[in-house]
Structure 1
């Protein structure tokens, strides 16, 4: 009995506890500063990454930005695209509060390229 109690006592100090990943979280905010004012959230289930999702467009000299942050599954980290006046996509990272920065490094993503080109086409049709 003493051995079992001793092992339980020692396991308390030497077996690491599982601590959920924490990420900044917001939805459709206009700036990173506003987004980071929300308290961090604990990721649940299969959500093993923090993410930043950003859509930016420059229309008639005005920049419009929508920023979303939170937890995500690694399989849903898709990458980003930048085409002329539109930038869209998401970045993922693996450590606590690593999505503090709202900027993205833009990489090619064919689906986002098609969506951006379609949006640009519609905007140009409205202007002309």
Structure 2
């Protein structure tokens, strides 16, 4: 009986769960706030794709964001002066939450800021 339970436990632990790949999606929205709808991607999709487009002059300037699931990751960074298009891709579920494709988190800068704040608080005795 123990051998059967051990075999059953080993089989359950070895079975890989089928997880759904999710991306935030929207189409031609003026703001990232409108792009927070999670969508289940097709089995062939491997990337969450964000396309950011801006264009215009002066008061007529605007921006548009499109987010979707994609089987490929097209690398596009085109700047024509009055118009620009850039794409960014990521490879895990719901990774395309941000509309800023070029903003990266620097853990070193964050850690230095926290450390400096902690030292300041300890020195001033707050």
TM-score computed with the length of structure 2 as normaliser: 0.67
Residue 77 (structure 1) aligns with: 74
Matches for 1:1-128 after TM superposition, within 5 Å: 7-36=7-36, 38=37, 40-74=38-72, 76-105=73-102
* Structure 2: tracts of 5 or more residues without a match: 103-126
Kept in 2, the 8 Å contact 1:49–1:92? The answer is yes
Shift of 1:101: 0.8
**Distance in 1 between residues matched to 2:61 and 2:5, nearest whole Å:** 63
- Matched length: 102
How far off its partner does 1:77 sit?
Answer: 1.8
Give RMSD over aligned pairs. Answer: 2.4
In structure 1, runs of 5+ residues without a counterpart are 106-128
Note the C-alpha offset of 1:56.
Answer: 0.7
